[in-house]
């Protein structure tokens, strides 16, 4: 008899899990609460008709570099990555910008006196990306398959971003590294924040920081189409309040965070496991803006037009101050802003000649503060006249984000803080397994954590299959 599995939630991790299970020959049903699948990988007309905005994620270094996604025929289902000439630009107060070039050689030249140090830091992992990605996008193994490579990574991984950045001689490179490390939602003086900087820098050279043609939804569409081709069924507008409302399945995989798992699995979990779920810690949230623009953003530093992603926050110290405020439960006056300008490289995102922009800053979890003015001040600082280009804008506060994707608890986009305490045992030392033998958790609250790579779903499904026997 064919075994049956269900997946609750169709984010990239839920879909990855569903695909692994369907490829293993199981009959798989996916239940998704929202009308459109994809979770934080969806696109919508959030401002004006014809302007397509990515609701959540927008740029996919780990999507392009994911060992699992790379094994799927997603291009046959319409996925096409677009690479901007440079992965990321970082404008500075003096009207110039430091640009991280895709090629490591070019990056080394453009970073001048720091070029050699940059190469020393990232080259081993860029050259062995496949091996490196397989190790870091997985639970920490007792014995790594590539011990020398991982020992080299480990030497840097536990340092703070500050420690690594201060190896560089110029303010420009230190600022660039601060912007990369600030993706961690950690203080730049915290251990592990340096590892996040590396995890952003290495794929920039190894696989790029691409955007999907047609928006984030194209990635979800390709995953859904491939899943359907394997015989899987996706049920949208089906919010699961309790696993008990579902028919019997051999396996239940939940693309939800610990608090939601507690709610839907009820009496199936042991009290000690429930206690661990209750003590799981969520991280800071984001406040996000989407813009429909009359014209491209008028950057002071023209180089910013070469990159889909632009980091706004000035030098290392300013970004460090912004992230320390957020970690201390405050709102930075001059927040670090991550901005994406996809329509410069993908005309399908806006009517002819018009543009879109996506920008967010970090805020304390469940913050109610409106950060629109502070985000726009930060953009204006590096692109005077930006506000005059805006045709329409839409704000997504932490609570609105959570109302559109229940996993974004308090606006936390990583499924729980990824600090030193919650890094290795995520959400518990069992990782994907729970105390119920056929219930598994497969969201970004499991290793390797936040980001669109599908590797949480992949590893969870492999673990679940290993329990089936026969
Ligand atoms: C604003 C923002 C910007 C981001 N930027 C990037 C980026 O540029 N690059 C990047 O790599 N990552 C980015 N991320 C992070 C990335 O999107 C997430 O880490 C990733 O989507 C997590 O995938 P997931 O499958 O674990 O969860 P999600 O994508 O959150 O999907 C969970 C799904 O489960 C569904 N669900 C929840 N509860 C139930 C229920 N009870 N019944 C049925 N369905 C349920 C939800 O509706 C949702 O569809 C961003 C996220 C946000 C929000």
Per the CB < 8 A criterion, the answer to whether 465 and 21 are in contact is yes
Count of helix runs (H) and strand runs (E) in the chain? 19, 16
Which ligand 1 atom minimizes the distance to the CA of 453?
A: 11
Angstrom CA distances, 266 to 120, 356, 435, stand at 50, 43, 12
State the pLDDT at residue 470: 63
C-alpha–C-alpha distance, residues 293 and 448, integer Å: 36
The two tokens of residue 226 are 């491939």
β pairing state of 307-312 and 43-44: unpaired
| pTM metric for this prediction | 0.97
Q: How far apart are CA 182 and CA 251, in angstroms?
A: 37
Please indicate whether residue 126, judged by its CB atom, sits closer than 6 Å to ligand 1.
Answer: no
* Residues paired with residue 395 on neighbouring β-strands, in sequence order: 289
Closest CA to 322 of 397, 375, 396: 375
Is any atom of ligand 1 closer than 6 Å to the C-beta of 10? yes
Nearest CA to ligand 1 atom 1: 56
Residues 6+ apart with CB under 8 A from 83: 102, 208, 209, 210, 345
Question: What is the per-residue pLDDT for 352?
Answer: 98
- pLDDT per position as a tens digit, 104-127: 999 999 999 999 999 999 999 999
CB of residue 165 inside a 6 A radius of ligand 1: no
Residue whose Cα lies nearest atom 10 of ligand 1: it is 451
CA distance 144 to 121: 20
Q: How far is the CA of 325 from the centre of ligand 1 (A)?
A: 25
Beta bridge partners of 359: 289, 339
* Pocket perturbation via mutation, ligand 1, pick of 36, 46, 413 by most ligand atoms within 8 A of CB: 413
Q: In this predicted structure, what is the pLDDT of residue 142?
A: 79
Which candidate, 209, 213, 200, 183, places its Cα nearest to that of 64?
A: 209
Assess whether the C-beta atom of 99 lies below 6 angstroms from ligand 1: no
- Over its length of 470 residues, how does the chain's per-residue pLDDT go in tens digits? 789 999 999 999 999 999 999 999 999 999 999 999 999 999 999 999 999 999 999 999 999 999 999 999 999 999 999 999 999 999 999 999 999 999 999 999 999 999 999 999 999 999 999 999 999 999 988 789 999 999 999 988 889 999 999 999 999 999 999 999 999 999 999 999 999 999 999 999 999 999 999 999 999 999 999 999 999 999 999 999 999 999 999 999 999 999 999 999 989 999 999 999 999 999 999 999 999 999 999 999 999 999 999 999 999 999 999 999 999 999 999 999 999 999 999 999 999 999 999 999 999 999 999 999 999 999 999 999 999 999 999 999 999 999 999 999 999 999 999 998 898 899 999 999 999 999 999 999 999 999 999 999 999 999 999 999 76
Q: Is the dihedral of CA 318, 361, 428, 70 positive or negative?
A: negative
137: Cβ below 6 Å to ligand 1?
A: no
For ligand 1, whether the C-beta of 239 sits within 6 Å is yes
Query: What pLDDT is attached to residue 158?
Result: 87
Burial of 326 (0-12, 13-18, 19+ CB in 10 A): buried
Q: How far is CA 284 from CA 180, 186, 361, 371, in A?
A: 17, 9, 10, 14
Whole-number Å distance, alpha carbon 389 to ligand 1 midpoint, is: 30
Return the residue whose CA atom lies nearest to atom 14 of ligand 1. 57
Neighbours of 36 (CB within 10 A): 17
Helix axes 258-265, 271-278, angle to 10 degrees: 150
- CA-closest residue to ligand 1 atom 41: 240
Tokens 């096409």 map to which residue?
Answer: 80
- The Cα 375–Cα 336 span in angstroms is 8
Q: Is 260 in the pocket of ligand 1 (CB under 6 A)?
A: yes
Q: What is the pLDDT of residue 420?
A: 86
CA-proximal residue: ligand 1, atom 35 (nearest): 9
Query: Which is the closest atom of ligand 1 to the Cα of 241?
Result: 41
What is the distance in A from the centroid of ligand 1 to the CA of 10?
9
Q: pLDDT for 8-39, tens place per residue?
A: 999 999 999 999 999 999 999 999 999 999 99
- The answer, yes or no, to whether any atom of ligand 1 lies below 6 A from the CB of 360, is yes
pLDDT at position 157? 85
CA distance to 42, 142, 308, 355, per residue, from 83 (Å): 19, 36, 8, 17
Q: What angle do CA 341, 208, 193 make, to 5 degrees?
A: 85
> Which atom of ligand 1 is least distant from the CA of 58?
8
User: How far, in whole angstroms, is CA 407 from its chain's centroid?
Assistant: 13
Check pocket membership of 451 for ligand 1, CB cut-off 6 A: yes
- Ligand 1 atom closest to the Cα of residue 443 is 26
Ligand 1 pocket, 448 CB below 6 A?
no
Q: Is 286 in the pocket of ligand 1 (CB under 6 A)?
A: yes
Q: List the beta bridge partners of residue 448.
A: none
Residue 361 in contact with residue 287, Cβ under 8 Å? yes
Whole-number Å distance, alpha carbon 155 to ligand 1 midpoint, is 31
């Amino acid at each position: 008899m064919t075994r049956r599995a269900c997946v609750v939630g169709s984010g990239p991790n839920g879909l990855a899990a569903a695909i692994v299970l369907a490829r293993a020959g199981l009959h798989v049903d996916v239940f998704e609460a929202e009308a459109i699948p994809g979770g934080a990988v969806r696109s919508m007309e959030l401002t004006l008709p014809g302007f397509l905005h990515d609701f959540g994620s927008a740029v996919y270094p780990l999507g392009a570099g994911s060992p699992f996604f790379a094994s799927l025929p997603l291009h046959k289902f319409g996925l096409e990555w677009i690479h901007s000439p440079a992965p990321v630009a970082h404008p500075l107060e003096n009207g110039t910008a430091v640009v991280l070039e895709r090629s490591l050689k070019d990056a080394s030249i453009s970073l001048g006196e720091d070029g050699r140090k940059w190469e020393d830091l990232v080259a081993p992992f860029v050259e062995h990306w496949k091996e490196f990605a397989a190790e870091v996008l997985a639970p920490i193994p007792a014995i790594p398959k590539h011990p020398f490579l991982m020992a080299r990574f480990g030497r840097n991984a536990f340092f703070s971003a500050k420690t690594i950045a201060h190896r560089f001689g110029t303010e420009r490179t230190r600022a660039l590294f601060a912007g990369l490390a600030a993706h961690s939602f950690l203080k730049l003086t915290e251990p592990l924040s340096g590892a996040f900087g590396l995890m952003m820098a290495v794929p920039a050279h190894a696989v790029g920081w691409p955007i999907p043609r047609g928006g984030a939804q194209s990635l979800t569409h390709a995953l859904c189409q491939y899943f359907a081709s394997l015989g899987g069924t996706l049920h949208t507008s089906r919010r699961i309040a309790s696993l008990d409302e579902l028919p019997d399945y051999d396996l239940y995989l939940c693309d939800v965070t610990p608090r939601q798992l507690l709610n839907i699995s009820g009496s199936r979990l042991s009290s000690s496991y429930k206690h661990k779920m209750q003590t799981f810690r969520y991280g800071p949230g984001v406040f996000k803006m989407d813009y429909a623009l009359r014209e491209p953003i008028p950057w002071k530093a023209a180089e910013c037009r070469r990159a889909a992603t632009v980091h706004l926050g000035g030098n290392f110290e300013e970004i460090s101050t912004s992230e320390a405020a957020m970690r201390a439960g405050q709102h930075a006056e001059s927040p670090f802003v991550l901005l994406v300008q996809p329509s410069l490289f993908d005309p399908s995102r806006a009517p002819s000649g018009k543009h879109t922009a996506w920008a967010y800053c970090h805020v304390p979890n469940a913050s109610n503060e409106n950060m629109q003015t502070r985000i726009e001040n930060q953009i204006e600082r590096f692109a005077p006249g930006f506000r005059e280009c805006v045709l329409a804008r839409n704000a997504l506060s932490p609570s609105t984000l959570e109302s559109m994707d229940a996993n974004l608890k308090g606006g936390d986009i990583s499924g729980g803080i990824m600090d030193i305490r919650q890094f290795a045992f995520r959400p518990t030392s069992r990782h994907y397994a729970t105390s119920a033998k056929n219930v598994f958790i497969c969201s970004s609250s499991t290793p390797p954590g936040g980001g669109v790579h599908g590797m949480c779903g992949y590893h969870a499904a492999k673990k679940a299959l290993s329990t089936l026997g026969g």
